[in-house]
Structure 1
Amino acid sequence: MDYLFLIIGSIVMITCVYFIIAPFFNGKYQFASTGGKLEDGLSLEAVYAELNELEMDYLMKKISKEDFEQMKSHYNCVAAQLLKAARPAGSKNAAHKQAVSEEVEEEIMRELQKLRETKGRREE
């Protein structure tokens, strides 16, 4: 009977250890890297959010001024790189916006001209 409790206890203990250790060897989860490379999924909003968190930590005296300045300059550089990377894609959009803006301006000028002509006829 003692051997039965010993075997069952060992099986339960090994099962518990397995469930505790298994997630570390599972490839499903990835740990965050601390490298200086830009990741593909990094967005400008995420960088701005991190800058906001950094400033809050500094204002609450959680980090020193030197660390704050160093990390702030790093995140500003990352944001600048993201903006530069996004600029070529946005240049077509900017050209389209410029064309639409010019078209709207022309339409406004035509409508104003029509109003001026009708106003001039009413006064006569």
Structure 2
Amino acid sequence: MDYVFLIIGSLVIITCFYFIISPFFSSGESQAAGTEAEGERLTLEQVYSAVNELEMDFLMKKINREDFEKMKENYQLLAADLLREETETLKQGKRMLPKGKGNLQADEAEEEILRELRKIRQHKG
């Protein structure tokens, strides 16, 4: 009878050990794949929110000035690249109008929209 209890106890311990240890090995692979997919789908709004969080961390003295400036510059470059990509896709998607009065008005309207967006982003961030 003692052997039966030893075998059952060993199986219970091995099963518990398996369930405790297995997440450490399987989660690393899925998280790495998830971060790559998220990095590809990064939006301009996410970059701005990251900069806001970075500024809050700096104001709360969680990071030093050098790290703050370096990371903020990286985020700003990333935001500039995203803006450049957005404008290129907009230009490619927009049909080419012949140079004239209609095209001038469209360009002025687009510039006005971009100015208003910058004001909103500065006010928000």
Task: Tell me the residue number matched to 2:81.
Answer: 81
Q: Does 1:11 align with 2:11?
A: yes
Quote the Cα distance in structure 1 between the aligned partners of 2:11 and 2:68.
51
- CA shift, 1:32, in A, is 7.5
Aligned residues: 98
CA distance change for structure 1 residues 53 and 83 in 2, over 3 Å: closer, same or farther? same
Quote the Cα distance in structure 2 between the aligned partners of 1:80 and 1:53.
18
Q: CA RMSD in A?
A: 3.4
Quote the Cα distance in structure 2 between the aligned partners of 1:94 and 1:19.
58
Aligned residue runs from structure 1 range 1-124, under 5 A: 1-26=1-26, 29-31=30-32, 39-91=39-91, 92=93, 98=106
Quote the Cα distance in structure 1 between the aligned partners of 2:73 and 2:9.
56
When normalised by structure 2's length, the TM-score is 0.63
When normalised by structure 1's length, the TM-score is 0.63
Q: Summarize deviations over 1:70-103 as a string: whole Å, max 9, x none.
A: 100011111111111111122345989929x6xx
- CA shift, 1:33, in A, is 9.2
Q: Work out which of the two has the higher radius of gyration on C-alpha atoms and give 1 or 2.
A: 1
- CA shift, 1:59, in A, is 0.4
- CA shift, 1:58, in A, is 0.3
Between the two proteins, what is the percent identity of the paired residues?
51
> Structure 2: where are the runs of 5+ without partners?
97-102, 110-125
Deviating more after overlay: 88-97 vs 20-29:
88-97
Deviating more after overlay: 63-72 vs 9-18:
9-18
Q: Hey, which of these two has a bigger chunk of helix by percent?
A: 2
**Larger relative contact order (C-alpha < 8 A, sep ≥ 6)?**
2
